[in-house]
Structure 1
Amino acid sequence: MSDAPAAPPSVLFVCVHNAGRSQMAAAFLTHMADGRARAASAGSAPAATVNPTVVRAMAEVGIDLSAATPKALTPAAVRDCDLVVTMGCGDACPVIPGRRYLDWALPDPAGQGIEAVRPIRDEIERRVRELIAELG
């Protein structure tokens, strides 16, 4: 038996373009978990850049997403995590046996102004806080 500490749980946040919801969720988890969990994000059809309104909304709460880039969802990314949180990617997310899945139904910030993105950001933050508490 090893005395090495267990690796923190890893969470993969997935949405279609990996330009809004999943980027915010991964950033919040990284920012708030203090090393107790790891976050990654991906999209089933990644955009070229992160939504600039999402970048602005996150900057308002002290999180810089200006250097973040959308990433493609791969089966390996799903295999390498403990929990997959989907946010509107539908059937595009590969299901790997042995992984836990949650689906967060959240509005898509694409094409929305800052007034519409703020409540989405705040709801994601609330859900991430609950998830961190659940993960321990």
Structure 2
Amino acid sequence: MKKVAFICVHNSCRSQIAEALGKHLASDVFESFSAGTETKPRINQDAVRLMKAKYGIDMEREQYSKLLSDIPPVDVVVTMGCNVSYPFLPCKLREDWGLEDPTGKSDEFFLETINKIEQKVLELKERIKDI
């Protein structure tokens, strides 16, 4: 089973959403992890609320903000679009999803971001089946 790491600076919003959706939509193809170069005390509460409403997923139940050193070696690294450089993580595939941080924005913007992440997780699932 492939391992995918979703990486963002604080590991509190976009990368957490991607980890949750990876587990929800693609666990038959890859294991999902998320991490950051820094951590926050809690996952973004708007993300938690909207993911619970849209998918019935309680991100706070099994997820928490983690550092890069807290996750296992991975096959795929996906950065969320934070425009920062990350320490090198060895992997077979690396890509950046270029997503704007929805923190502090409207629910509509948050839901647009969640929808984009869902689509990208499904696309990634199809692309990495055979790597």
The residue aligned with 1:12 is: 5
- TM-score when scaled to structure 1? 0.84
The aligned residue for residue 66 of structure 1 is 60
Q: Percent identity?
A: 34
Which position in structure 2 is the counterpart of 1:130? 123
SS of the equivalent of 2:66 reads coil
Residue 49 of structure 2 corresponds to 56
- In the alignment of these two chains, the number of paired residues is 126
| Residues 17 and 46 in structure 1, CA contact (< 8 A), matched pair in contact too | yes
Runs of at least 5 residues in structure 1 that lack an aligned partner in the other structure = 1-7
- The answer as to whether partners of 1:16 and 1:89 remain within 8 angstroms in 2 is no
Equivalent pair of 1:17/1:70 in contact (CA under 8 Å): yes
Q: Deviations over 1:64-87 (max 9, x none)?
A: 21332111122x73x600010011
> Max radius of gyration: which structure?
1
Q: Write the distance in 2 (CA, Å) between the matches of 1:82 and 1:49.
A: 27
1:61 Cα deviation after fit: 2.1
Which residue of 104, 110, 117 corresponds with 2:110?
117
- Runs of 4+ deviating beyond 6 Å: none
The two structures, once aligned, show a CA RMSD in angstroms of 1.7
Q: Letter of the 1:18 partner, please give it.
A: N
TM-score scaled by length of structure 2: 0.87
> For 1:11-63, what per-residue CA distance to the aligned partner results, in whole angstroms no more than 9, with x for missing partners?
00000111110001111111111432101000111111000000111112222
Give the letter for the 1:72 counterpart: L
